[in-house]
Amino acid sequence: MRIGIVFPQTEIGADPIVIRDYAQAAEDLGFAHLLAYDHVLGADPGGHPGWQGAYTSAHMFHEPLVLCGYLAGLTRRIELTTGVIILPQRQTVLVAKQAAEVDVLSSGRLRLGVGVGWNPVEFAGLGESFHNRGRRIAEQVAVLRALWTSPAVTFSGRYHRITAAGINPLPVQRPIPIWMGGHAEPVLRRIGAIGDGWFPLRRPPEGWDAVLERLRGYVREAGRDPSAVGVEGRFSIARRSPEGWARAADEWRRLGATHLHVVTMDAGLQSPAEHIAVLRQIKEALGV
């Protein structure tokens, strides 16, 4: 099981040297990947009465693909992962171009996590429909893979039309792995049909075993080998001891997870230096 760390978006600040030092520390400590969350716009609750979202305009979010491009030149081994890019609120061809560029600059170290999102404020601000996002994402994945694997593409779908055009340079990975986040049943079916891997989110009432069995059943229904679809577990260090971290990692191993990421945000850490210090503790507790 490959163990990575979540880039502490909301707590690291905006100093590029601090960001560099954090990523290089994660790489030097042996973590397999660095995963970045995504939000383009944060809603101001004052203008949205009854706001229930997890984040607001007060939370800092670095743009993941720009961040990965920056880190590509500052690291050598660590995989750069988006977890997840809200794909339906973006222009698909532009994402294809940006992701290919990151893959080139990182020598093939990008893993693109995508999802449908939950924040209608972002979709409105970006000029995309919140209501058909689930229907659009499957076609978006097809467009991405076509653009990443052929120098010229002709594609005619419900939401996309490309005529004899392509991106240049093509990525190192052809195609770049596409993982998907979410937990709704249509998401699991979509991953079973077209995903390279799954980012589970909230633990369901029935537990992970039942959900993973359904996912693997959808993979088989699509005529695919379940071992070809990865699963990335997650846990937060908040309110857990190092012994609890190890137990959480062992549980994901038992479930057959191929990857795991650890969240250090919202754990009372007061500075980027404290986040780096905790990385060392995680390394020791999990045997990274």
Rounded to whole angstroms, what are the CA distances from 169 to 85, 93, 149, 150, 278? 21, 13, 11, 11, 38
In this predicted model, what pLDDT tens digit does every residue of 34-92 receive, in sequence order? 999 999 999 999 999 989 888 999 999 999 999 999 999 999 999 999 999 999 999 99
* Cβ partners under 8 Å of residue 218, min gap 6: 188, 189, 191, 192, 193
Q: What's the burial of 193, exposed, middle or buried (CB within 10 Å: 0-12/13-18/19+)?
A: middle
201 confidence band (pLDDT: 50, 70, 90): confident
Q: What pLDDT score was predicted for residue 116? A: 95
pLDDT of residue 44: 95
Determine the Cα–Cα distance for residues 126 and 139; give it in Å rounded to an integer.
Answer: 19
* pLDDT higher than 90, residue 206: no
- Residue of 144, 171, 173, 176 whose CA lies nearest to 157: 144
Strand 161-165 vs strand 153-156: parallel, antiparallel, or unpaired?
antiparallel
pLDDT of residue 183: 86
Buried b (16+ CB within 10 A) or exposed e, 124-152: eeeebebeebeebbbbbbebbbbbbeeee
Does residue 123 have a pLDDT over 90? yes
Structure tokens at 75: 């690291």
pLDDT above 90 for 208: yes
Give the whole-angstrom CA distance, residue 118 versus residue 197: 20
The pLDDT value given to residue 66: 98
**Which helix (H) or strand (E) segment is 93 a member of?**
helix 92-105
- Determine the average pLDDT of the residues in 120-143: 96
| pLDDT single digits (tens) 97-122 | 999 999 999 999 999 999 999 999 99
Give the DSSP letter string of 189-218: HHHHHH-SEEE--SPPTT-HHHHHHHHHHH
CA distance 177 to 194: 11
SS (H, E, C) 1-39: CEEEEECCCCCCCCCHHHHHHHHHHHHHCCCCEEEECCC
H or E element: which one contains 149? helix 133-149
CA distances from 174 to 96, 112, 160, 214, 243 (A): 12, 13, 21, 29, 40
